[in-house]
Structure 1
Amino acid sequence: MFKVKYRYLFTLLLAAYSYLNILFTEGDRLFGYDINPILFFTTLLLMVLALWETNRLVQYQIEKAEWKAKLHPLVAFFLISLLSVTLISLLVTGALYLSYEDEAHNMITFKLSLGFAFRVNLFLHSINAIYYFITRFKNAQLEAETLKKQHAEARFEALRNQINPHFLFNSFNVLSSLVYKDADTSSKFIDQLSNVYRYLLYNQQNKLVKLSEEMAFIESYIYLLKIRFQDNLEIQKDIAKDLRDTYIAPATLQLLVENAIKHNVVSRNSPLSIRIFSNGSYIIVENTIQLKEIKEESTNLGLNNIKNRYDYLCGKDAMVINANDVFTVKVPIIKEDL
């Protein structure tokens, strides 16, 4: 607190307040002799200034020494400041003695100076203690928020950088069956598979990508899925054109589509329907609910990480709704790159 930019203004205001308070309560009469008002105010101003500056120097030395003693630094700071209070009071007593040459009042002058200096010093240290704990509280909040964001970032990075191994194995299985049956389709399949992994590789370190880039990526991803599932999987896309230059976290849509396939039946008798569309300030991915009889173990890690990710990026959660046999995830659209 003692290093604040406007400390000299605060010193002047505190001295003026003290001067007016003493005049109002007629405290100057306690000296037993008349003191020139200008000299009296100047004395108070110099006392407050001296207290502030000595405290600033002591605080600087304590911070520089990186205080490690068991005694709390605020307590040590206050105890050390009492020495400056005493010294300043002695100097004021001597100055007034030289001005008025009235030795009989020296002890009274010293006591009054000491009392004033102690009260001002106590007030300053009380404000400093409040400032100290508020600053520590804010720093702790900031550190906690930073750690939370870093944790969300790390978890999403891990999630984003791994496509389900089953998807990779299944893609190779599909490719191996295509090679001998349809060379053209197998060639296109390889191109689309390389597009998927190229996108993931190039955007590993990016927090956001344009929605148009994500949609181009999801087109390649859907192509691979359609070759595998044929008519058993239906995916519709309806994204407003004016949103193409907005932003989204890389691979968000892929993770949501993959999540839908992971937990639901995809068969000729029960084709899975997935819809990707925009609505206001959200991109929505919804699928019919037709859960597998033998359910894969779910920790909701993927969905939770996506929610944490968007909370970190834009302060909004991705919304998950499970109702009327439809599973819906609403992802907030981000207007500007970060």
Structure 2
Amino acid sequence: MNTKLNKSDFIVLAIYFMVSFFLQGKDYYDRGAMLKEYLLDFPSELIAICSIIFLFTFWLIPKFVKEKKYFLFGVFGLLILIVITAFQYTVGFWSGDNDWKNYPRGLDFVLKMIDRGTFQTAFPFALFLTKKFYEGQSEYLKIEKQQKENELKLLRSQIDPHFLFNNLNTLDSLIDSDTEKAKEYINRLSLIYRYLIKTKDAEVMELSEEIQLAENYIFLIKTRFEDDYDFKIDIQTSIEDKFIPTGAIQILLENVVKHNKPQKGNTIKSIISIEENTLKVINTKSNLKSKNESFGTGLENLKSRYKLLSDKDVIIINTDKEFNISIPIIKLINES
């Protein structure tokens, strides 16, 4: 709950007291109340109610409820209610020229102050607390949203540091052996980096653009490893108005290469299958065990991003012969 006063707090209470005093003023007028009742009762009631609300909101609740000292909260709460209500009741009793013989005493006084105090402050207190609660919720959601955006940007920034190094090595060998292919390699690499720069702050990207990135990235892999890896893209549905986390396909392709080393000329075959609601990457596995037995930081990164972007999970099926990963396709436009 937001424990700072703002302009709107005073506006809400001012509106409440204006309506309340108008209704009470009519009642005073109908019964022919004296002028001093008008001049003393309303200000004393305003002071009493505001004092109770502010003491509970900005002192009692933060000090005792947050620390789970509920007994002390109850004791001090009743004392505040009794003392402040007694002040307001006494002013009203005197301004109405009542007989002091009828002034309540002892236990009757205590019970009357508790009853009167809770009755007078219940609605304005509830109104004030409800307002502060929803302000706090709104602020919390804003902070949570900003935190998610920051987490996504951090996750997006975690690109494999060896990516550029490996590609420069490949390019170095191509320049002497195949100049034309080296030019094409440079072009594809520049397209990938242009895409990464363009989308550096984007949480999700259109599936069609991610597929173009995948085609360029596959070219780099095929050029570097030749026939060790084989990739096919199978589009089974329309890809319009569909999105996935930025760079998701690149992470999935990196995972195939990182965890599978071909043996005895056996090509690692991968299919990128795009269905209505899911993008799947299914690849055969080599018998050669990878040094890193985990799913890798890339996939963990992708799973973390999905937790922030969607209520659907990344599904991984890992068998002896095949690795199958499914990521949900995100639709940002509601279907009519």
With normalisation by structure 1, the TM-score equals 0.69
CA displacement at 1:283 relative to structure 2: 1.2
Partner of 1:55: 49
Aligned residues: 300
User: What is the DSSP-based 3-state SS (H/G/I as helix, E as strand, rest coil) of the residue aligned with 1:330?
Assistant: strand
Question: Does 2:150 correspond to 1:156?
Answer: no
Deviates more, 1:277-286 or 1:241-250: 241-250
CA displacement at 1:322 relative to structure 2: 1.6
Output the amino acid matched with 1:93: F
Aligned partners of 2:82 and 2:113 also within 8 Å: no
Cα-Cα RMSD:
4.6
206 and 151 in structure 1: CA distance in 2 versus 1, 3 angstrom threshold: closer
2:132, 2:240 → 1: CA distance?
A: 47
Aligned partners of 1:286 and 1:326 also within 8 Å: yes
CA displacement at 1:225 relative to structure 2: 0.6
User: What is the DSSP-based 3-state SS (H/G/I as helix, E as strand, rest coil) of the residue aligned with 1:321?
Assistant: strand
2:52, 2:110 → 1: CA distance?
A: 19
User: What is the DSSP-based 3-state SS (H/G/I as helix, E as strand, rest coil) of the residue aligned with 2:238?
Assistant: helix
Partner of 1:196: 192
Partner of 1:304: 300
User: What is the DSSP-based 3-state SS (H/G/I as helix, E as strand, rest coil) of the residue aligned with 1:168?
Assistant: helix
User: What is the DSSP-based 3-state SS (H/G/I as helix, E as strand, rest coil) of the residue aligned with 1:243?
Assistant: coil
Partner of 2:34: none
With normalisation by structure 2, the TM-score equals 0.70
2:139, 2:300 → 1: CA distance?
A: 25
Aligned partners of 1:92 and 1:113 also within 8 Å: no
CA displacement at 1:296 relative to structure 2: 3.1
The match for 1:222 among 218, 222, 227 is 218
1:333, 1:171 → 2: CA distance?
A: 30
Question: Does 2:206 correspond to 1:210?
Answer: yes
CA displacement at 1:300 relative to structure 2: 3.4
CA displacement at 1:183 relative to structure 2: 1.7
1:103, 1:277 → 2: CA distance?
A: 89
Question: Does 2:174 correspond to 1:185?
Answer: no
The match for 2:231 among 230, 235, 247 is 235
Determine what percentage of the aligned residue pairs are the same residue. 24
Listed as ranges, the matches of 1:31-50 within 5 Å are: none
Aligned partners of 1:232 and 1:268 also within 8 Å: no
Listed as ranges, the matches of 1:60-79 within 5 Å are: 60=54, 71-72=63-64, 75=73, 79=79
Question: Does 2:289 correspond to 1:290?
Answer: no
Partner of 2:332: 336
Provide structure 1 residue ranges, at least 5 long, that are not aligned to the other structure.
Answer: 16-35
- For residues 36-92 of structure 1, what are the alpha-carbon distances to aligned partners after superposition, in whole Å with 9 as ceiling and x for unaligned? 9x86xxx9xx999976773335645887xx769995489577654543201121123
Partner of 1:30: none
Provide structure 2 residue ranges, at least 5 long, that are not aligned to the other structure.
Answer: 32-36, 67-72
User: What is the DSSP-based 3-state SS (H/G/I as helix, E as strand, rest coil) of the residue aligned with 1:180?
Assistant: helix
User: What is the DSSP-based 3-state SS (H/G/I as helix, E as strand, rest coil) of the residue aligned with 1:198?
Assistant: helix
Aligned partners of 1:90 and 1:110 also within 8 Å: no
188 and 283 in structure 1: CA distance in 2 versus 1, 3 angstrom threshold: same
User: What is the DSSP-based 3-state SS (H/G/I as helix, E as strand, rest coil) of the residue aligned with 1:242?
Assistant: coil
